C-alpha cells in the first residue's frame, strides 16, 4: 500500500512541475515573438491604423475611383483653380491650425522682403507661408493698414489679385467654361457637412498622439467617441438637410475635445501628415471635378440638342411624304444674276440659318433684290429645302445647295464636305505687358469657303454671313463699298497682331504688325479672288504646314487662312459687326444696340441652353416660334 501510495504521491507532484515548465517555455517564446513584432509594427506604420483606415474610407466615399489617376497641378494653382467652398474651408482650417510665427521670424521676414506691400499695405505673410500672424505682433510691424479677422492677417488686396489671376488662368485652360461656371454658380447646400468633415480630419490628426499619452485616457476616449459619432452621421448624409437635429451640439463637443487636444504637446509629424492628406485630397478632388465638368461642358456645346435633331428628322420625313414643287428652274435666273445682292450662308442648322435670313430681310429697305444661298450637307439638305419652302421671307429668294452634290471639277469628292467657320481660342503675351497672357476668340474661313469662286462662277461680289449672326440694320450699303482692290472686306481685330500669333502661324513669312480679321460678316470680291488664286494659295499653305508640322495641332486652318489673306483684307468699320456674344459676359449693351450685325462666336450659341441669357433675346425674336414642327419637337431656345 505504501508503495502504491508512494508511487501515487510521486506522480501527483511530477505532473504540476511539467505543466509549470511548459508554461514557462510558452511564455518565453511569446515574449521573444512579441519583441520581434513590436519593432516590425512601428516600421510598417501600423500603429496609425485607426486614422489611416478612416482616411481611406473618407477618400473612397468622397471621390470617384479614377481620382488617383488625375494629374495634380502645383498647390498654388490648385487653390486658384478650385475657388470652391470646400477649398475655402480647408484654407481656413489650415490657417487656424497653423503654428504661430515667432516675433523674430516675422521681423526677419519683413526685413528680407523689404516690407513689400500690396494694395492697402497688407504684408504677404499668411498666403505666402501658410502661417498666421497674431494681432499683437502685427502691431509691431511698420504697416498700419493691415486688418485682422479672428487673430489672423486679412490680405484683402492680395487675395483679390489671386482671384483675378485664377479667373484668367482658368479661362486660359478651359475657355468660356469658366465664365459660364461663374455665371451659374449655385448656392452651396452642404456647408455644415463640410465643416463636420473638417473637424473629423482634425480629430483624426490629433487622436493617435493623444492615445499614446496614458495620463489622458479620458480625452482619448472622448475623441474616439466623437470621431465614431461623426463618421456614423457622415456615412448617412450628403447635404445639410439630411443632418440630425442635434448636430450643432455634436459639433461643439468635437470642437471642445479638439481644443483640449491642441493644448497638450503632441507629435507634430502625425498632425502634419494628416493635414497634408487633407490638402492632397482637396487638390485631387478639385482638379478631377474641374476637368470633368469642363469636358462635359465641351460635349454639351458641340453636340446638337435633341430638339434640333428631331426638327431636322421631322422635316426630312415630311419632305419625302409630300415633296415640295421644284422651284429651281423658275428661279435659276435670279440665282445667277450678278446685279442682285447675293448672301451666302454655310450651315447645318435649320433654325440658325432661318434667323440669319429673317433678320436680314426684316431690316432691308428693299428685299426683292436679295438672294440667299444656303450651303449645307446631305444630311440636312431635304430638311432645309422643306423649311424654306414652307416659310417665306418677304420678297427675297432662298436657294438651298447640297455641297456634297456640286459638280466641282478641281476638287476631290472625298474632301468635298461641309465645314463651318473655324473658331479658335488663342492665347498670347500682351505687347504692353509681356508678363501677362491674353486670350482672344478668332473666327476664320473653313475649307468650304475656298470653294466659293467655283460654286458661284457667274457672280462678282457676295456677302458671306455665318449662321451664328443676327442682322440688326440694313446691309445694302455693303454693295456700294469700294474695297480698293482688296478681296475680303472684314472687321479687323487689331487687339491681335499676326506677330503675337507666331506660335500658331509657324515659319510662314508674314507682316507681324498686320491685324487679324474675323469672319461673320465678310464682303468678298470674287473677281479679285480668282485673279490672285487665293484658293490655290490656301491649299498649298495648308498642305505644307500639315506635312511639316510647323504649327500647333488643330490650328493649321487658322494659319493658312490668316496668311492666305495677308495684304488682301479691307478693314471695314467695327460698327458693322460686334463679336463675342457667344463667350463674353461683359459686352456693353449700347455697343450691342449700335452694331449692324451681332456675332455669337464662341461656345455659348443662342440656340443652346448654355447660351448667355442676356444676349439670347436678340436672336430669339427673329425665330418663328408658331411653326408646327417646333412645337412637335419641343424646340424652345
* Backbone phi, psi, residue 257, to 5°: -65, -40
b/e 355-364 (16+ beta carbons within 10 angstroms → b): bbbbbbbebb
SS3 286: helix
DSSP 80-145: HHH-SHHHHHHHHHHHHHSPBPPHHHHHHHHHHTTS-EETTTEES-HHHHS-B--HHHHTTSS---
Angle at 528 between CA 526 and CA 531, to 5 degrees: 110
Percentage of the residues of the chain whose pLDDT score is greater than 70: 73
- Give the distance, in angstroms, between the CA of residue 321 and the centroid of all CA atoms in the same chain: 44
pLDDT digits over 270-323, tens only? 777 777 887 888 888 888 888 888 888 888 888 888 999 999 999 999 999 887
Distances (CA, A) of 316 to 59, 124, 345, 347, 624: 51, 65, 20, 16, 19
- Beta strands 597-599; 577-579: pairing state: parallel
Asked if residue 253 has pLDDT above 70, the reply is yes
SS3 303: coil
Asked if residue 557 has pLDDT above 50, the reply is yes
pLDDT digits over 587-620, tens only? 999 999 999 999 999 889 999 988 899 999 999 9
Q: What is the pLDDT of residue 272?
A: 79
pLDDT digits over 164-214, tens only? 556 667 776 777 778 777 777 777 778 888 888 888 888 888 888 888 888
Q: Name the CA radius of gyration of the chain, rounded.
A: 36
Q: What is the pLDDT of residue 527?
A: 94
SS3 223: helix
pTM: 0.65
Of 338, 313, 366, 298, nearest to 604 (Cα)?
A: 298
What is the dihedral sign for C-alpha 348, 352, 353, 354?
Answer: positive
Torsion of CA 449, 452, 454, 458, to 10 degrees: 180
Q: What is the pLDDT of residue 452?
A: 94
Torsion of CA 396, 401, 407, 410, to 10 degrees: 90
CATH 3.90.550.10 range(s) for the chain read 306-632
Q: What is the pLDDT of residue 412?
A: 62
The set of cell numbers assigned to 50 is 485607426
pLDDT digits over 68-117, tens only? 233 333 333 333 344 445 445 545 544 544 444 444 444 444 444 444 43
* Backbone phi, psi, residue 84, to 5°: -85, 170
Q: Element (H or E) spanning 483, and its range?
A: none
Q: What is the pLDDT of residue 333?
A: 85
The set of cell numbers assigned to 254 is 468635437
The set of cell numbers assigned to 484 is 480698293
Q: Enumerate the H helices of 63-84 as residue ranges.
A: 75-82
Asked if residue 495 has pLDDT above 70, the reply is yes
pLDDT digits over 7-44, tens only? 444 444 444 555 566 767 777 777 777 777 766 655 55
End-to-end C-alpha distance for the chain, whole angstroms: 115
Of 621, 623, 574, nearest to 599 (Cα)?
A: 574
HEC string for 184-223? CCCCCCCHHHHHHHHHHHHHHHHHHHHHCCHHHHHHHHHH
Asked if residue 345 has pLDDT above 90, the reply is yes
Record: fold of 306-632: Spore Coat Polysaccharide Biosynthesis Protein SpsA; Chain A (3.90.550)
Count CB neighbours of 228 within 10 A: 11
Of 620, 376, 301, nearest to 630 (Cα)?
A: 620
Q: Average pLDDT of the chain?
A: 75
Q: What is the pLDDT of residue 461?
A: 95
pLDDT digits over 505-522, tens only? 776 767 777 888 999 999
Q: What is the pLDDT of residue 126?
A: 31
d(CA 494, CA 498): 9
Amino acid at each position: 500500500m505504501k508503495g502504491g501510495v508512494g508511487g501515487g504521491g510521486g506522480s501527483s507532484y511530477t505532473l504540476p512541475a511539467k505543466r509549470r515548465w511548459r508554461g514557462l517555455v510558452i511564455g518565453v517564446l511569446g515574449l521573444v515573438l512579441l519583441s520581434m513584432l513590436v519593432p516590425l509594427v512601428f516600421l510598417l506604420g501600423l500603429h496609425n491604423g485607426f486614422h489611416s483606415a478612416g482616411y481611406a474610407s473618407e477618400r473612397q466615399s468622397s471621390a470617384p475611383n479614377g481620382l488617383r489617376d488625375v494629374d495634380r497641378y502645383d498647390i498654388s494653382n490648385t487653390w486658384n483653380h478650385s475657388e470652391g467652398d470646400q477649398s475655402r474651408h480647408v484654407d481656413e482650417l489650415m490657417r487656424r491650425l497653423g503654428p504661430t510665427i515667432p516675433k523674430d521670424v516675422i521681423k526677419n521676414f519683413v526685413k528680407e522682403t523689404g516690407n513689400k506691400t500690396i494694395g492697402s499695405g497688407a504684408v504677404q505673410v499668411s498666403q505666402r507661408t501658410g502661417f498666421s500672424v497674431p494681432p499683437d505682433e502685427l502691431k509691431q510691424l511698420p504697416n498700419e493698414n493691415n486688418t485682422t479677422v479672428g487673430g489672423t492677417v486679412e490680405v484683402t488686396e492680395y487675395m483679390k489679385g489671386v482671384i483675378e489671376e485664377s479667373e484668367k488662368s482658368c479661362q486660359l485652360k478651359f475657355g468660356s467654361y469658366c465664365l459660364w461656371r461663374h455665371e451659374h454658380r449655385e448656392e452651396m447646400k452642404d456647408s455644415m457637412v463640410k465643416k463636420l468633415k473638417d473637424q473629423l480630419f482634425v480629430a483624426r490628426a490629433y487622436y493617435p498622439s493623444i492615445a499614446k499619452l496614458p495620463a489622458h485616457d479620458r480625452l482619448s476616449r472622448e475623441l474616439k467617441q466623437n470621431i465614431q459619432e461623426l463618421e456614423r452621421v457622415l456615412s448617412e448624409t450628403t447635404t445639410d438637410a439630411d443632418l440630425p437635429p442635434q448636430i450643432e451640439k455634436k459639433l461643439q463637443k468635437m470642437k471642445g475635445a479638439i481644443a483640449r487636444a491642441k493644448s497638450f504637446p503632441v507629435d507634430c509629424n502625425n498632425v502634419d501628415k494628416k493635414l497634408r492628406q487633407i490638402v492632397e485630397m482637396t487638390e485631387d478632388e478639385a482638379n478631377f471635378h474641374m476637368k470633368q465638368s469642363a469636358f462635359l461642358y465641351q460635349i454639351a456645346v458641340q453636340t446638337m440638342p435633341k430638339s434640333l435633331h428631331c426638327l431636322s428628322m421631322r422635316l426630312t420625313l415630311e419632305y419625302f411624304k409630300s415633296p415640295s414643287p421644284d422651284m429651281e428652274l423658275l428661279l435659276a435666273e435670279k440665282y445667277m444674276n450678278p446685279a442682285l445682292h447675293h448672301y451666302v450662308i454655310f450651315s447645318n442648322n435649320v433654325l440658325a440659318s432661318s434667323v440669319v435670313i429673317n433678320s436680314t430681310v426684316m431690316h432691308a429697305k428693299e428685299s426683292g433684290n436679295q438672294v440667299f444661298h444656303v450651303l449645307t450637307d446631305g444630311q440636312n439638305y431635304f430638311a432645309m429645302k422643306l423649311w424654306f419652302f414652307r416659310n417665306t421671307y418677304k420678297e427675297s429668294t432662298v436657294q438651298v445647295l447640297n455641297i456634297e452634290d456640286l459638280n466641282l471639277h478641281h476638287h476631290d469628292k472625298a474632301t468635298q464636305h461641309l465645314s463651318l467657320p473655324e473658331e479658335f481660342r488663342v492665347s498670347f503675351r500682351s505687347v504692353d505687358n509681356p508678363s501677362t497672357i491674353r486670350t482672344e476668340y478668332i473666327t476664320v474661313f473653313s475649307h468650304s469657303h475656298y470653294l466659293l469662286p467655283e460654286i458661284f462662277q457667274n457672280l462678282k461680289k457676295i456677302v458671306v454671313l455665318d449662321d451664328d449672326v443676327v442682322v440688326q440694320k440694313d446691309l445694302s450699303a455693303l454693295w456700294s463699298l469700294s474695297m480698293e482692290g482688296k478681296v475680303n472686306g472684314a472687321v479687323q481685330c487689331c487687339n491681335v497682331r499676326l506677330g503675337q500669333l507666331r506660335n500658331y502661324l509657324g515659319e510662314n513669312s508674314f507682316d507681324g504688325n498686320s491685324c487679324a480679321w474675323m469672319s461673320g460678316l465678310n464682303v468678298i470680291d470674287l473677281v479679285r479672288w480668282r485673279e490672285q488664286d487665293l484658293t490655290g494659295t490656301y491649299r498649298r499653305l495648308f498642305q505644307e504646314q500639315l506635312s511639316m508640322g510647323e504649327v500647333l495641332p488643330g490650328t493649321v486652318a487658322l494659319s493658312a487662312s490668316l496668311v492666305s489673306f495677308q495684304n488682301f483684307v479691307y478693314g471695314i468699320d467695327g460698327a458693322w459687326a460686334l463679336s463675342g456674344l457667344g463667350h463674353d459676359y461683359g459686352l456693353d449693351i449700347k455697343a450691342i444696340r449700335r452694331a449692324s450685325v451681332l456675332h455669337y462666336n464662341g461656345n455659348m450659341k443662342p440656340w443652346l441652353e448654355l447660351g448667355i441669357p442676356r444676349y439670347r433675346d436678340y436672336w430669339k425674336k427673329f425665330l418663328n416660334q408658331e411653326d408646327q414642327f417646333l412645337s412637335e419637337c419641343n424646340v424652345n431656345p
